């Protein structure tokens, strides 16, 4: 598996992996702290015949001021090893300065859908999600992008963005995977103690 950290290397790797556009490429966007839910998306994309790329980027613009950006779990070496084992061909690990360079002034927001449900209690969250996904799609230029059903509202936002902006990408949704105790798999589950998990 190739690991790239800058846009020129990403473009070169993409061209080589897709044989100049003859092979189909899928993207699995992640914030790292990978679990079986993420890896199932990689495997599903491979089974669908795609060359698979995954991004690992903890996106600061989707965290509120009192949320867990600074303590969000980060272990890129472990994540890359898991991706390689699952059959991922390319890992894209950009820096914040790559995703949001000086002078960056563009954001993407879906009216209505971004400010209800979770969006009502996390102002700006889905604007951050939509913006970073559009950036990742523009950088990687995949034929398909794979997301987990667990983040239902996020999936609806991304589908709306892709449709409204005529993005040439298929949005594929994988099923929610659960822990043995029935809890939906999530990178943040490690924050929970047994009492929290039982609620």
- Catalytic annotation, residues: 38
Instruction: Please tell me what DSSP assigns to residue 165.
Output: T
First to last CA, the chain: 40
Helix, strand, coil percentages, rounded to 5, for the chain: 45, 15, 40
What six digits make up the tokens of 6? 């800058």
- SS3 label, residue 105: coil
In terms of phi and psi (left: phi > 0; alpha: psi -120 to 50; beta: otherwise), the region of 103 is left
């Amino acid at each position: 598996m190739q690991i790239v950290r800058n846009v020129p290397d990403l473009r070169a790797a993409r061209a080589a992996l897709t044989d100049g556009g003859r092979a189909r490429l899928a993207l699995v966007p992640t914030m790292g702290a990978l679990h079986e839910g993420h890896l199932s998306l990689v495997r599903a994309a491979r089974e669908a015949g795609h060359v698979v790329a995954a991004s690992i980027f903890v996106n600061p613009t989707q965290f509120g001021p009192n949320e867990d950006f600074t303590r969000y779990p980060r272990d890129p070496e472990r994540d890359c090893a898991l991706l390689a084992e699952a059959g991922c061909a390319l890992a894209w690990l950009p820096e914040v300065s790559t995703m949001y360079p000086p002078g960056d002034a563009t954001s993407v927001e879906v009216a209505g859908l971004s400010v209800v449900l979770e969006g009502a209690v996390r102002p700006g969250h889905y604007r951050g999600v939509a913006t970073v996904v559009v950036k990742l799609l523009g950088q990687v230029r995949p034929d398909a992008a794979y997301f987990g059903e667990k983040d239902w509202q996020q999936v609806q936002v991304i589908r709306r963005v892709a449709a409204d902006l005529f993005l040439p990408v298929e949005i594929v949704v994988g099923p929610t995977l659960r822990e043995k105790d029935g809890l939906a798999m999530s990178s943040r589950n490690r924050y929970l103690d047994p009492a929290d998990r039982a609620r």
